[in-house]
Structure 1
Amino acid sequence: MKSVVATLTFLLLISCTIENDNVPLGFDQVYSDDPEQTMMIDIIYVQPTSVSQQSSYNLDESDFIKNLNGSFFHRYGIGLEKGDIKTLINDELYDLRDNRGEESRIFLMQTQNSYNPNRVSLYIIKRAHTVNIAGIGKNQRALITDEFLYTPTAPHEIGHALGLLHSTIEGNVMSKIRPHLRREFTNAQVDQMKSVMKRIEDL
């Protein structure tokens, strides 16, 4: 019984279900030329073996990182930098519809040999290939479905990848409720992310 409870607790901490997160952010972007702490973000497109030579995501990676910085991270002295752009051929991770309730376990297992321990790795899959999952984050890895890249789900999962847990504060980036209202990190959350980034940098 204890193992079942522990497993459920683990999954609740890192799997983020879909709620209405498609409302425009509606606040000014803030940029810094010299953030206090920076972190490289590798972007990894998950593809099946059948389309291994092409990308179907059409993401402007530089614009995506710029949006994350301006909307969420630079105002707190944190800078994300575009790292490597890769493709992971993995049929199991590409389509999680048959793994409902096991998404977090599958994600961590299928990515344990493909992420860089000196960076944060952001994996992207199709929203249509999940059931009620917007993203997952833990242990320097974040998975975000393609429809939620330009929403507060992205910084939320990156927060998880940098060690943050869910918050009960409405409007907090790590809040589990009303994701379209997620805007702010607390000072404690910022300190924790910077601490993890520093530790990764020193590896």
Structure 2
Amino acid sequence: MKFLRVLLVLSIFASCATEDDYVPYEIEQVFSENLDKVIKVDIIYVQPSNKSSKVSYGLNENHFITNLNGSFFHRYGIGLEMGEVKTLYNDELYDLKDNRGEESRVFLRETQDFYNTNRINIYVMKRSNTVAIAGIGKDKRALITDEFLYTSTAPHEIGHALGLHHYPEEGNIMSQIRPYLRKDFTNAQVDTLKETLDKISE
């Protein structure tokens, strides 16, 4: 029983490893004007305290949100809408290599006072500042490393941020198996996402 409790705790706070999500994949984009739920998304760049610019990330935030909608969310009646773009200056979070095995706890602790509870908060940081971590997601917050923004890691971590857990079926967005094949949510997962959005949306 003690082993099961430990396993449960690890599964709740586990960071998502990079595995093989680098493999190119294509998903036909679908856009809809008839959406059941729309939620704002804040993009938050993680920077060290001695840096004043987000230029090094080179992300087009609107294009990123459009890609998420077309590739993953609009087909389920869920829309992501661009919110604010911010910068979090935090040396502890910026370099997670010194916190191996504790990444999720560090992420949640260091962002506790820097997120909007009525939105999805996506934190972007350098993949080079982690060890085998592609992203983390929980409690309306998703950390996505810059090299994985346009892979299935992004909707996977958003799923975690909205209350979804890992799912064992290949091809499911919440699967840990062959991430490059992930593209679908189940009906039950979509219901959970929409229920969570009902609770947090403005």
Q: Normalization by structure 1: what TM-score? A: 0.94
Residue in structure 1 matched with residue 65 of structure 2 by the alignment:
65
Measured at CA, do residues 73 and 90 of structure 1 come closer, stay the same or move farther in structure 2, by a change above 3 Å?
same
SS in 1 for 2:160: helix
Residue in structure 2 matched with residue 144 of structure 1 by the alignment:
144
Equivalent pair of 2:38/2:79 in contact (CA under 8 Å): yes
Query: 1:56 Cα shift?
Result: 1.2
Please give the root-mean-square deviation of Cα atoms over the aligned residues, in Å. 1.6
Equivalent pair of 1:42/1:85 in contact (CA under 8 Å): yes
CA distance in 1, matches of 2:175, 2:61: 26
Query: 1:34 Cα shift?
Result: 2.6
Query: 1:52 Cα shift?
Result: 2.5
The CA deviation string for residues 132-177 of structure 1, in whole angstroms up to 9 with x for no partner, is 1100000000000000000000000000000000000100000011
Is 1:9 matched with 2:8?
yes
CA distance in 2, matches of 1:88, 1:7: 32
Is 1:184 matched with 2:181?
no
Equivalent pair of 2:117/2:200 in contact (CA under 8 Å): yes
Which amino acid is the alignment partner of residue 181 of structure 2?
L
Query: 1:54 Cα shift?
Result: 4.4
Query: 1:5 Cα shift?
Result: 6.5
Residue in structure 1 matched with residue 109 of structure 2 by the alignment:
109
Equivalent pair of 1:127/1:134 in contact (CA under 8 Å): yes
Equivalent pair of 1:138/1:162 in contact (CA under 8 Å): yes
Q: How many residues align?
A: 201
Residue in structure 1 matched with residue 127 of structure 2 by the alignment:
127
CA distance in 2, matches of 1:129, 1:103: 11
Which moved further from structure 2: 183-192 or 32-41? Answer: 32-41
Give unmatched runs, 5+ long, in structure 1.
Answer: none
Which amino acid is the alignment partner of residue 46 of structure 1?
V
Q: Normalization by structure 2: what TM-score? A: 0.95
Which moved further from structure 2: 86-95 or 9-18? Answer: 9-18
SS in 2 for 1:124: strand
CA distance in 1, matches of 2:53, 2:60: 18
CA distance in 1, matches of 2:122, 2:53: 20
Equivalent pair of 1:11/1:104 in contact (CA under 8 Å): no
Query: 1:183 Cα shift?
Result: 0.6
Query: 1:201 Cα shift?
Result: 1.9
Give unmatched runs, 5+ long, in structure 2.
Answer: none
Residue in structure 1 matched with residue 85 of structure 2 by the alignment:
85
Matched ranges for 1:7-86 at <5 A: 9-13=8-12, 14-86=14-86
CA distance in 1, matches of 2:62, 2:86: 14
Equivalent pair of 2:122/2:143 in contact (CA under 8 Å): yes
SS in 2 for 1:122: strand
Which amino acid is the alignment partner of residue 9 of structure 1?
L
SS in 1 for 2:25: coil
Residue in structure 1 matched with residue 171 of structure 2 by the alignment:
171
